[in-house]
Structure 1
Amino acid sequence: MEIQWSLVLFTAIAGTGSWLLGCACIDEFKGMAKKTTSLAAIIAIVLLIAGGIVSATHLSHVDRIFGVLAHPAPGIFLEALLLGIDALIGLILVLLWKRDASAGARKAFAALGVIMAPVFSFSCGFSYMMSSQLAWNNIGLPLGYLGTAAAAGCALWALLCAYRGEAEEALVFAGWETVLGGALAVVFALVFGMVSGVSAGAQAPLFWGAVVLVGGVAPLACGVAITRKPASALAFAGLALACGCVGAIAFRCLMWLGSDALMALFGVTL
């Protein structure tokens, strides 16, 4: 099946932004990276909006996106709704931080931001689950979307913390968040690969090389390196981000390519 690049980039970019915002929101409770939270939230909002714009280019007539959004239904409407909510949470938090609002208000919206990271990234993959596409019709697909977005988003947070010169304590914690993102990418990619069958056959090199090793194991290893050598966090976080982005894009490409391979086993041409 032909790769739909608009949809690939939409979920990769917006998913990364959602997890970046989630990491910034976690720091509202930890209080270790005060110099980075607002910047991270602003970048997250930009990524979410950019992802939404890229998604609209999938339509042959972009103006028809308003017609789609006017009819509540699963799929595009749900993704757009969650994206808008996530971006709004980020904007409100930036304003609350700027005005030094009450801790209760900040933590309430920060909790929502943390929840939205897995919810939004999972929903982007969940909307593709359908019985007519055997390779997509398993829970590993949305979980893979979640995990690969987490790897890229957490790595971007660590990179921003290092760039802003946060204290060693904050960098070490960001390193552990990067480890978590990498671990989620590895585990959930393996779930999808084993259940869908793309871990073997023609797509196996892309799966094991770009998705599992580059997109998951590498960010995980870089996160461990950050926890042990926070002075080198900028370099390790940059590498983790690059690898996480490769893995996120490769996983989404694999979704389209893997569908062809699996359906061919049943003599079906797509």
Structure 2
Amino acid sequence: METMTIQWSLVLFTALTGIGGWTFVCVAADEFLGRAKTAAFPAAVVAFALSAVGGLASVTHLSHPDRIMGALGHPTSGIFTEAVLVGCVCVFVAIYLVMLKRGASDGARKAVAVIGAVFGVLISFMAGESYLMSSRPNWDTQLLPLGYMLTAMPGGIACYLAVAAAKAKEAKLDQYAKALLVAGVLGVLGTVAFAVAAGQSDGSALGFAAASAVLTGVAPAIVGALLPKKPQQAMTLTVAALACAAVGIVCYRCLMWVVSEPVSNLFLNML
């Protein structure tokens, strides 16, 4: 079977923007929950940095990065959609940060945070949606972008929890721990669903699928279950969950590349 070379710039782009987007989702959620108010600013800064660096990583995939404006001149392209979404996330996170510093009203701040969070969720899904194409039947399923989103969730929540544990000593993180537990379960389901749909079972594919399921799913879920019982170890546990989730997110995106087989090969295999 002929597989594609892993495109690391795209792996990093989708991994970083996914984690950044879901980190800001947690920031927006806490605008309503008020569990870790002092974590809002540093967590939003982290979300902005991850999204911006991820966006820059995508540009390095182009053979001529200087022609990025030409690539953005086609509104129907995946590159255009991704660039717009990343830009919207960064803009609304930046506005939110300014509003925090200037003491804007709660209502205005919440509205901006929710809009930014919506874009954060969208980029985690649409980064995978861009790869749906009939010429790559292993990719041509909505389970692929769904897996992109579901594997990004534990990473973003763990990232927020790590910042909250470091910057908001008074934070009450039980609800976010439950969210991490649920996100971990969804991460496992997202990985397994796409791996089964892709229909490949060679060693490398199985290895990436297993690593993704364990690291983006099982490990964060365990941390989510332990955190309410061991609040004094919140920093250690959340950093461990973030590290595992980050590696697992990369593994899921690598899985996509190693299971890819072009239509021409499938046709030849049937002869």
Which TM-score tier does this pair reach, normalised by the shorter chain?
over 0.9
**Of 127, 132, 143, which residue of structure 1 is paired with 2:130?**
127
Higher relative contact order (CA 8 A, sep 6+): 2
Q: CA deviation at 1:120?
A: 1.1
When structure 1 is superposed on structure 2, of 71-80 and 107-116 the one drifting more is 107-116
Give the corresponding residue for 1:191. 193
Matched, 1:254 2:255: yes
Matched, 1:205 2:207: yes
Give the corresponding residue for 1:237. 238
Q: CA deviation at 1:176?
A: 1.9
Residue identity opposite 1:206 in structure 2: F
Task: Describe the shift of the 1:194–1:88 C-alpha distance in structure 2 as closer, same or farther (beyond 3 A).
Answer: same
Task: Describe the shift of the 1:43–1:266 C-alpha distance in structure 2 as closer, same or farther (beyond 3 A).
Answer: same
**TM-score, structure 1 normalization:** 0.93
CA distance in 2, matches of 1:70, 1:262: 29
CA distance in 2, matches of 1:76, 1:265: 28
Q: Which ranges in structure 2 are unaligned for 5 or more consecutive residues?
A: none
**Secondary structure of residue in 2 paired with 1:166:** coil
Residue identity opposite 2:141 in structure 1: N
**Of 140, 144, 161, which residue of structure 1 is paired with 2:143?**
140
Q: Which ranges in structure 1 are unaligned for 5 or more consecutive residues?
A: none
CA distance in 1, matches of 2:189, 2:137: 21
Task: Describe the shift of the 1:110–1:132 C-alpha distance in structure 2 as closer, same or farther (beyond 3 A).
Answer: same
Q: CA deviation at 1:42?
A: 1.0
Alignment of 1:28-39 (within 5 A): 28-39=31-42
Give the corresponding residue for 2:68. 65
Task: Describe the shift of the 1:163–1:263 C-alpha distance in structure 2 as closer, same or farther (beyond 3 A).
Answer: farther
Q: CA deviation at 1:118?
A: 2.1
Task: Describe the shift of the 1:36–1:204 C-alpha distance in structure 2 as closer, same or farther (beyond 3 A).
Answer: same
**Secondary structure of residue in 1 paired with 2:92:** helix
CA distance in 1, matches of 2:258, 2:265: 11
**Secondary structure of residue in 2 paired with 1:81:** helix
Give the corresponding residue for 2:99. 96
Tell me the alpha carbon deviations over residues 198-239 of structure 1, each in whole angstroms, 9 at most, x when there is no partner. Answer: 4x333212212x111122111111111112211111111111
User: Aligned residues: percent identity?
Assistant: 40
Residue identity opposite 1:226 in structure 2: L
**Secondary structure of residue in 1 paired with 2:22:** helix
Alignment of 1:159-174 (within 5 A): 159-167=162-170, 169=172, 171-174=173-176
CA distance in 2, matches of 1:263, 1:50: 36
Q: CA deviation at 1:263?
A: 7.8
Residue identity opposite 1:247 in structure 2: G
**Secondary structure of residue in 1 paired with 2:227:** helix
Q: CA deviation at 1:159?
A: 0.6
CA distance in 1, matches of 2:171, 2:128: 36
Q: CA deviation at 1:131?
A: 0.9
Q: CA deviation at 1:34?
A: 1.1
2:128/2:144 contact within 8 Å kept: yes
Matched, 1:21 2:18: no
Task: Describe the shift of the 1:112–1:27 C-alpha distance in structure 2 as closer, same or farther (beyond 3 A).
Answer: same
**TM-score, structure 2 normalization:** 0.92
Residue identity opposite 1:239 in structure 2: A
- Count residues with an aligned counterpart: 265
Task: Describe the shift of the 1:142–1:132 C-alpha distance in structure 2 as closer, same or farther (beyond 3 A).
Answer: same
Tell me the alpha carbon deviations over residues 227-261 of structure 1, each in whole angstroms, 9 at most, x when there is no partner. Answer: 22111111111111011011110010110001149
Tell me the alpha carbon deviations over residues 117-140 of structure 1, each in whole angstroms, 9 at most, x when there is no partner. Answer: 321100000000011101100111
CA distance in 2, matches of 1:32, 1:143: 29
